[in-house]
Structure 1
Amino acid sequence: MEVARYRPGEDAEPVFQAYDVPLMDDWAVLDGLTHIKDRLDGSLSFRWSCRMGVCGSCGMTVNGEARLTCGTFLTEYAPGPVRIEPLKGFPVIRDLVVDIDDFLAKLSSVRPWLVREGEEPPLTAEYAQTPEQLEAYKQYSMCINCLLCYSACPVYVLDPDFLGPAAIALAQRYNLDSRDMDDRFDVLNLEDAVWGCTFVGECTKVCPKHVDPAEAIQRYKVSAALRSVLPWSRR
């Protein structure tokens, strides 16, 4: 494995360090990194948590492609080498660990929670939904904030002000939820939001949960355009 090593403030630029890792049939790339950390070089830094494709923590660039390293197996790249780099488009904190504060701020700006106005229901109240109402947004709710879509997005890499695929998809998730009363027009109908997307589609290609952020963005473009023509329309 060839792993990017970088310590901002100490190193002038990233360098690649080669490690010999056993080629095991059931080893994911994350297992290879763990082997390096535990057996070869304890100074290597990377993020991981669940190892099950749920938490989204272990996203990295594997041979040039944004992947979850827990679900990417070494045998896919046999006989190697496998080159591991941090996600593109984000400042590097150390080695394979990137700073995601910019994404968290963008995510918060789209209000990714149910917004209810003018009511305070009792704690026992429920907002019932039909299966059809659930299906309207379920696909977008599968996002795990792994940031692979941001790393693959050519717009975000070139323009850090772009709101980005995951934040827009999660905003659309709540826009399509029958229980929500917000429309998030103020943060989505902007040049740095849905109108900044050039519909390359790389975000959808790399998404491990098949969220299809590109579709979410294009759907909201239609909604925003209709609202411009019919100002009283929403969603």
Structure 2
Amino acid sequence: MATPVMDKVEAAAAASPYITATFRIRRFNPEISDESTWEDFQVEIDPKERVLDALHKIKWELDGSLTFRRSCAHGICGSDAMRINGKNRLACKTLIKDINPEKPITVEAIKGLTVLKDLVVDMEPFFQAYRDVMPFLVTEGNEPTRERLQSPEDRERFDDTTKCILCAACTSSCPVFWNDGQYFGPAAIVNAHRFIFDSRDEAGEQRLEILNDRDGVWRCRTTFNCTDACPRGIEVTKAIQEVKRALITRRF
């Protein structure tokens, strides 16, 4: 017959929200080896917490050498994009309970960009493509004495592509980008779209010519990987198609 003390212990264990989840992380340290390896970590954690919380526990309690990027931890900065169970996601927006914690949860760096260490990749090629499409408002003439007005309808035209947080989840999910790092990639095209269709901007033709390059918008194969990967729900493939249409019709 169980004692009252044991009953309380068993009841407390049964009521505990914590589970033990296995995180299988792809590790890479160029100072140690040219090859990457998988390493398992057992983490006791509430499944309602996020993958980022688990990575923090691993780094702070199990292995301080684990390297990854994160900043705001609220899905705004986009710095913690990584492949989780084979899909590009933001670690700060991915709940453990939503990715089947009964099996090992795989975590690795996003594809198509050079891995510097563990989950950190070299983002410079990604940001260079972003800079190349002129992601800023271009106007001519004198500086206005009042703000440039825009109708709600004109603003709605490019509203979707203003949501980009430059996490690279879309670009690094693109098979064309994996095979040819010269392709501008979905994120750059999305940010060009944001200004091409802005009624206040006067450099739409210039951006279209930039994207008319052999490594530009025509490289897209419309696989929809980018749209599926976007953590902000941007219709990336639709934006790319609209840029293609603008190149053909010169209407935007």
Alignment TM-score, normalising by the size of structure 2: 0.87
How many equivalent pairs are there?
227
1:31-42 alignment, distance < 5 Å: 31-42=53-64
Residue aligned with 2:193, SS: helix
Shift of 1:26: 2.2
Corresponding residue number in structure 1 for 2:192: 171
Equivalent of 2:93 in 61, 64, 71: 71
Corresponding residue number in structure 1 for 2:172: 151
1:163-202 alignment, distance < 5 Å: 163-183=184-204, 184-202=207-225
Shift of 1:121: 2.5
Whether contact under 8 Å (2:26, 2:37) holds in the other structure is yes
Corresponding residue number in structure 2 for 1:96: 119
Structure 2 residue 75 is the aligned partner of structure 1 residue 57: no
Shift of 1:10: 2.8
Corresponding residue number in structure 1 for 2:160: 139
Residue aligned with 1:44, SS: coil
Corresponding residue number in structure 2 for 1:126: 147
Equivalent of 2:227 in 189, 204, 209: 204
Residue aligned with 1:19, SS: strand
Whether contact under 8 Å (1:28, 1:74) holds in the other structure is yes
Shift of 1:11: 1.0
Whether contact under 8 Å (1:152, 1:203) holds in the other structure is yes
Equivalent of 2:50 in 20, 28, 33: 28
Residue aligned with 1:148, SS: coil
Q: Distance in 2 between matches of 1:18 and 1:64?
A: 16
Q: Distance in 2 between matches of 1:152 and 1:172?
A: 19
Q: Distance in 2 between matches of 1:114 and 1:102?
A: 22
Q: Distance in 1 between matches of 2:141 and 2:80?
A: 41
Q: Distance in 2 between matches of 1:87 and 1:54?
A: 18
Give the partner amino acid of 2:109: P
Structure 2 residue 68 is the aligned partner of structure 1 residue 46: yes
Shift of 1:9: 4.5
Whether contact under 8 Å (1:8, 1:92) holds in the other structure is no
Structure 2 residue 109 is the aligned partner of structure 1 residue 86: yes
Q: Distance in 1 between matches of 2:226 and 2:83?
A: 14
Shift of 1:220: 1.0
Corresponding residue number in structure 1 for 2:181: 160
Q: Distance in 2 between matches of 1:210 and 1:128?
A: 27
Deviation >4 Å, runs of 4+: none
Shift of 1:128: 1.3
Q: Distance in 2 between matches of 1:18 and 1:25?
A: 18
Q: Distance in 2 between matches of 1:9 and 1:43?
A: 12
Residue aligned with 2:237, SS: helix
Equivalent of 2:244 in 199, 215, 221: 221
Corresponding residue number in structure 1 for 2:17: none
Q: Distance in 1 between matches of 2:214 and 2:235?
A: 21
Whether contact under 8 Å (1:116, 1:180) holds in the other structure is yes
Whether contact under 8 Å (2:69, 2:79) holds in the other structure is yes
